[in-house]
Amino acid sequence: MGLTPAACSVRKFSNGETSVRIHESVRDEDVFILQTSCGPDVNDFLMELLILISACKTASARRITAIVPCYPYARYTTISPGGLSVYVTPLSLY
């Protein structure tokens, strides 16, 4: 696609909260976020993605596309007989 990755940093505060910083302007740009969600920290990866999307929206990105090769909570797309809730719906609303 001929794109160069933008400088971005992710760090954790001492209480475990995530901080994301974009080091370049994304105003009026089409932003593509490539985020993995494989591994033991799937919830941390998901929070990083949501915070990064929020930061891009706040910075006035024109359009934001998240590319997530391994979609977290994809197996919870239906309600099971035991009453397991549907997790994927709130993720798709963001």
CA neighbor of 66 nearest in space, from 88, 92, 27, 28: 92
- The structural domain count of the chain equals 1
Supply the range of the domain harboring residue 54: 8-93
Task: State the Cα–Cα distance between residues 54 and 64, nearest whole angstrom.
Answer: 10
Instruction: Write out pLDDT tens, residues 50-83.
Output: 899 999 999 999 999 988 887 666 665 555 565 5
Contacts of 58 (CB under 8 A, 6+ apart): none
Instruction: Write out pLDDT tens, residues 22-48.
Output: 999 999 999 999 887 777 788 888 888
CATH number reported for the structural domain that contains residue 15 in this entry: 3.40.50.2020
Q: Over 70: is that where the pLDDT of 86 sits? A: no
Predicted TM-score (pTM) of the model is 0.74
Please check whether residue 2 lies inside any domain of the structure: no
